[in-house]
Each structure stands twice: as structure tokens, then as C-alpha cells.
Amino acid sequence: MKCSSNFAKKIMQYQLILASKSPRRKDLLAKTGLDFEIRTKDTEEVYPSDLQLDQVPEYLANLKASAFDNELKENEILIAADTVVILNDKIIGKPKNYDEALAFLKELNGSVHEVITGLSIKSFAQQSSFSEMTKVWFSKLSDQTLERYITEKEPYDKAGAYAIQEWIGFVGIEKIEGNYPNVLGLPVYRLLNELKKFNISMK
């Protein structure tokens, strides 16, 4: 996806910052043609116990953005993100080890789950946030296939213990309903439209 030349020129007058260590988000944002830099802070990803699960990613994205409070310059725009996988009213997070990864994949196996990415866009003067949801149909795979995937790919940095762009996505994802890049961790189309609407003074 390429941005319109006028929009790209306006954004280029600002320093765009992606507050994420995710190589997938970095790659997706780079494909838009926008220039940006990576700037991250370690943030404890905790949220209120009574928060609705579908609101967690946006809450955490705002939490990550708030770590940059009082640091952004007038010409900087920050993008922070968080992605969660939800199945049966439970968040399936990033697995800590092989056994947990296998348990997560067995839960997702043969089921429909939701992938929700929350984004927070922050400038020197203001902040806006939103979340995007995609439904994913995971077909029934053998235990041997799940075990081989974990051994080969070690998906310990991935929510839900899998990456849709890897081979398990080709053989195991029957269909999705919603935005594909959102499953990778960055709903690019929605992000670009939010940036266009961002109430800042384009020089």
C-alpha cells in the first residue's frame, strides 16, 4: 500500500515514530512508503481486571504511548500498538515456553478466534486511539503438525503462539473476516486514515 503523494509529503514534515519492537509492524509500516524511526520503552503490560477483553489492546497501546509523555517534540508523531488473541472470553497471550505454546495452539485448533489490535497515535499536543478486530477460522491440525511448527518457528514472541504469514497460516487458517494486516499486528488502512484525520497543523 502506498500513500498519496500529498499525504506523504505532509507526514514527512513530521518525525513519525513507531513505538514497537515487532519486526512485522516495522515491515508493514515500511510498505506504506512513510519514513519513520523505531523508539521503544519497556512497559509493564498490565490492565484492570474488570476491563472488557476487547478493550485491552487499546488500553495497553495507550499505556505504551503514555511512557513517552513530556518527551515528544512538536514535530513528532508516535504510534504505539498492542495485539491480543481472544478465544472463549479469554486472552491467549505470548507463550513462555514450548509446553505453553502447544497448549495455546491446541486451544485455537479447530476454533474461531478474534485478533484485536489497539493503536494509540500521540503528538506533542494530542492523542487518539482505536482498535480493530479480525475473526480467524483455525482448521483442525494434527498434534504432530502443531509440535513441528513450535519446534521450527519458536513462536514465543507471538500472541496466540502463531504467525499467520508463516506456513502454519497457509495450512491451518481456513479463512478470516476482517483486515489481514491487523492479524500481523498493524491495521495499516485504518492507521493511515486516522493519521489523515489527526487534528494537527500540517506545515
**Cβ atoms within 10 Å of 157's Cβ, excluding its own:** 13
- 159: nearest Cα among 191, 114, 99: 114
Q: Given this model, what pLDDT does residue 75 score?
A: 87
Task: Assign 45 a pLDDT band (cuts: 50, 70, 90).
Answer: confident
Is the pLDDT at 201 greater than 50? The verdict is no
CA distances (Å), origin 22, targets 42, 52, 74, 184: 13, 25, 26, 10
Q: Given this model, what pLDDT does residue 203 score?
A: 38
Q: Does domain 5-197 have CATH number 3.40.50.300?
A: no
Instruction: Give helix then strand counts, H and E, for the chain.
Output: 8, 7
Q: Given this model, what pLDDT does residue 200 score?
A: 44
Crossing angle for the helix pair 98-108 and 143-153, to the nearest 10 degrees: 130
Return the SS3 of 26.
helix
Please pick, among 69, 82, 99, 157, the residue that the annotation labels catalytic.
Answer: 82
Q: Known catalytic residue: 82?
A: yes
Domain edges within the chain:
5-197
Largest CA-CA distance found in the chain, in angstroms, rounded: 57
Q: Record the pTM.
A: 0.89
pLDDT tens-digit map of 67-101: 999 899 988 999 999 999 999 999 999 999 999 99
Mean pLDDT value across the chain:
91
pLDDT tens-digit map of 147-200: 999 999 999 999 999 999 999 999 999 999 999 999 999 999 999 989 887 654
Return the SS3 of 31.
coil
